[in-house]
Amino acid sequence: MHLDTTSRRVSPFTWALLIVLPLITACIALGIGRYSLTPVETLTVIYRRIAGLPISDANAAIVLFGIRLPRVLLALLVGAGLSAAGTAFQSLFANPLATPDTLGVASGASLGAVVGLFLGVSLISVQLLALAGGLLAVALTILVSRGGRSRGIITMVLSGMILGSLFSALISLFKYVADPESQLPSITYWLMGSLNTASYKNLILGAPFLIAGILMLALLRWRLNILPLSEDEARATGTNLPLLRGLTVVSATMITASAVSMCGQVGWVGLLIPHICRMLWGADNRRLIPASVSLGAVFMVIVDTLARTLTAAELPVSILTAVIGAPVFIALLRKTGGWQL
């Protein structure tokens, strides 16, 4: 057998686990809630639905397909997407602290959504505005960083940060002038992030972008390894660097903007999951991207399930990711003794 010494081996068992784990988690999560089902019951209902057989428990079908399935699907997609985008951006910026929001996508998308909520348009329109806001923000960031003499990656990060804080200021402005009785709570709640608005309509609008982004990153996964090299070294690999960078930014932006448009800002996922994967499987993006997609999906489904079941009222998902993320991150920091990609 040929022994690939250029890559740390990931056993077939691990790969199988990475594929199956999100499915198992999703199946369990589908059963959890006030109307609780065992995984076997869940599977039976799903099977009967697919096979076109009559379902004895009508309530189970409604809860499962009407309420929980879109939400779990959304969680899977958002977790997978944000983790993949985080992994890609950490490579692109050669910086372990890069997140999907580094270029101001999330702030831009949030601003779009806040404008929508302020104007009181329908939820779908809010989502569209968020999507547009995110894409516009990145376009603006790139435009700003292109204008001057220096076109380095650092300029891009700085432009992203500057525009991000500008958008945050504008969001504050809208909050300040919003009606504190009706608009302000909905804006605040939206900004904290929640998956409870999940519906098939939502998904149809946002998911294609998100899935396309993930697929693109998956195709580019080996090339992502080239991005953190120094400029000269990267060019010397014979790679079309502007194209690679452009595709990476576009993919990550599509993912993040559509994630934010569907469920608001969800922090930490794009930072935490890639680093856990790096610790487990090393720095090669050939393994990192698929592993991040899988574990990100699992993580998000778990966190969202906790968010909707932990207390009687639903918890904003960002609060939970931060509460879980911060301690895990500190532990990682202490263990690795510093930041490294």
Binding residue (CB under 8 A) for other proteins from 1, 4, 13, 34 = 4
Q: Which two tokens stand for residue 48?
A: 């009967």
Binding residue (CB under 8 A) for other proteins from 240, 310, 327, 328 = 240
**What is the nearest approach in angstroms of other proteins to the Cβ of residue 294?**
18
233 binds other proteins (CB under 8 A): yes
Q: Which two tokens stand for residue 227?
A: 């991005």
Between 54 and 242, whose beta carbon lies closer to other proteins?
242
> In Å, what is the CA distance from 64 to each residue of 43, 204, 213?
11, 18, 28
Task: Report which of 307, 336, 337 is spatially closest to residue 321, judged by C-alpha positions.
Answer: 307
**What is the nearest approach in angstroms of other proteins to the Cβ of residue 273?**
17
6 binds other proteins (CB under 8 A): yes
119 binds other proteins (CB under 8 A): no
Distance CA 67, CA 77 (A): 16
CA dihedral in degrees (75, 77, 79, 80; nearest 10)? 150
Between 111 and 234, whose beta carbon lies closer to other proteins?
234
The answer to whether 305 and 32 are in contact (CB under 8 A) is: yes
What does the DSSP assignment read for 112-157? HHHHHHHHT--HHHHHHHHHHHHHHHHHHHHHHHHHSS---HHHHH
Binding residue (CB under 8 A) for other proteins from 16, 40, 235, 327 = 235
Q: Which stretch binds other proteins (CB under 8 A): 6-14, 40-48, 78-86, 197-205?
A: 6-14
Q: Which stretch binds other proteins (CB under 8 A): 69-77, 87-95, 129-137, 196-204?
A: 87-95
168 binds other proteins (CB under 8 A): no
The answer to whether 230 and 152 are in contact (CB under 8 A) is: no
Residues in touch with other proteins (CB under 8 A): 2, 4-8, 91, 94-95, 219-223, 225-226, 228-233, 235-240, 243-244, 247, 282-284, 286, 340-341
